[in-house]
Amino acid sequence: MTQTRDIMTPNAQCIGENDALSIAAERMRELDVGALPICGEDGRLKGMLTDRDIVVKAIASGLDPETTNAGRLANGVPVMAAPDDDIERVLALMREHRIRRVPVLDEHRLVGMISQADIARHLEPSTTGETVEVISR
């Protein structure tokens, strides 16, 4: 059984819910990622922020990325996994919610991320293909 911890990218970083979108964009550039988990003042996951969210939901809607905080774009209940979860559970979550990344939390603390790239690097090509096909519909 492959566990989430076996293939996740460790040491994922959060953007604070009160940090400006411009700070989030800079961090995404520095880390060369397209999404960051949004963490609250209490350290708990509040949502996910993507580069597309910044452009489409904020800038294109006239919001100022210097004064708009990341928490403003944290909608709904975040989908997450635990390090000991079977990877099949994570794949099912990604397919069900049509998401490309899943934060991995241990005792409410962010410890990693599972992305399509992690799946492609570590799992069978057929599993990767099926997952990407469902997510991309």
**pLDDT digits 0-9 by tens, 95-112:** 999 999 999 999 888 999
CB of 25 closer than 8 Å to CB of 54: yes
CB of 88 closer than 8 Å to CB of 119: no
Q: For residue range 40-84, list pLDDT tens digits in order.
A: 988 889 999 999 999 999 999 999 999 999 999 987 778 999 999
Of residues 132 and 53, more confidently modeled:
53
- Rounded to an integer, the average pLDDT of 8-25 is 94
Q: 3-state class of 99 per DSSP?
A: coil
Break the chain into its structural domains and give their ranges.
4-135
Give the integer Cα–Cα distance in Å for 129 and 60: 33
Considering the four listed CATH numbers 3.30.470.10, 3.10.580.10, 3.40.50.2300, 1.10.8.80, the one that applies to the domain covering 4-135 is 3.10.580.10
Give the integer Cα–Cα distance in Å for 19 and 41: 11
- The pLDDT > 70 percentage for the chain reads 100
- Provide the pLDDT for residue 74: 83
Residue whose pair of structure tokens reads 């949502």 in the numeric block: 47
Per the prediction, the chain carries an average pLDDT of 91
Give the integer Cα–Cα distance in Å for 27 and 114: 18
Indicate the helix (H) or strand (E) that contains 33: none
pTM across the whole model: 0.86
- Provide the pLDDT for residue 123: 85
